[in-house]
Structure 1
Amino acid sequence: MILQCVNIPISIEYRGYIFTGNQKDVFLEQFEMEGICIPYSCRSGFCATCKVKILSGSAVSLTGKITVIAPASILTCTSIPCGNVQLE
């Protein structure tokens, strides 16, 4: 099942830093817009350098068109949030 994400402002928390994000840009791009630096390399989902853990909330993986629900790991370069999320 794929969740339909509505493009409204959401809360993204990453390692204690909380900011307002959206449901249209991948996590990595939103981190960059906020000045948050995380490791990455390929930006296409192959290297897994940008993998983080979802502690709460859900995301949609654009590569597999699947919904990932916490607790799980996602690639920030190919996943978009689907509502408020907490990441580690």
Structure 2
Amino acid sequence: MSATPVSSLAQLEYGLDTSLGRISKSAECRIGLEQVENDAFCFALRIPPPLPEDLEQARTLVLRVEGRRLQGTVRYSERLEDGSLRLEVEPD
């Protein structure tokens, strides 16, 4: 997968697991895609501020960017020094 610039506009749909069950949310935001180091199967998503509400707690993700549709399970999330969020996603 080639990296996309962080300026790419994407539609995100994400699922949160709560005590009341699964909650689905959606947001449009700027993102960047990159390959996960030492893992050719997974991809990473970088979202600069402002971040969609509760995105750090996302467990599932569907992403539409540049005519592509990617989906999977979030296996790791990290807040970066510049305030952006990096999510590592394992495709379904």
TM-score, length of structure 1 as denominator length: 0.37
Which structure has more RCO (C-alpha within 8 Å, separation ≥ 6)?
Answer: 1
TM-score, length of structure 2 as denominator length: 0.36
- Report the structure, 1 or 2, having the larger strand content: 2
Larger Rg, first or second structure (1 or 2): 2
